[in-house]
């Protein structure tokens, strides 16, 4: 059984979604940053990567115009969104502020 995006976002208290694409240079830069964030915050947040080319309907639903776009969901509700590469300390602070 495949878990839907909505199920993932609704079933975790905090979900950081990375809308990205394989061809996107800044997206490649963001990957290692998100790994470091995950190492810092552990189970406080679930990080999900969404390929906009393979999930065009989802990208359209969330009006993703550029990649990378990060969206933070708290209990299924979008509470923050930013396009472009974000720094590790900014993301860790954001997650801790939303716990």
Which residues carry out catalysis?
24, 27
Helices 88-97 and 25-41: crossing angle, nearest 10°?
A: 50
CA-based nearest residue to 81, from 97, 91, 90, 69 = 69
């Amino acid at each position: 059984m495949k878990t839907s995006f909505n199920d993932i976002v609704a079933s975790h208290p905090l979900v950081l979604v990375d809308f990205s694409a394989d061809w996107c240079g800044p997206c490649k830069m963001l990957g290692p940053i998100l790994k470091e964030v995950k190492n810092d915050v552990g189970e406080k947040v679930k990080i999900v990567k969404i390929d906009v080319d393979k999930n065009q309907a989802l990208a359209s639903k969330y009006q993703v115009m550029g990649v990378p776009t990060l969206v933070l969901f708290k209990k299924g509700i979008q509470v923050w969104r930013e396009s472009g590469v974000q720094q590790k300390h900014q993301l860790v602070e954001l997650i801790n502020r939303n716990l």
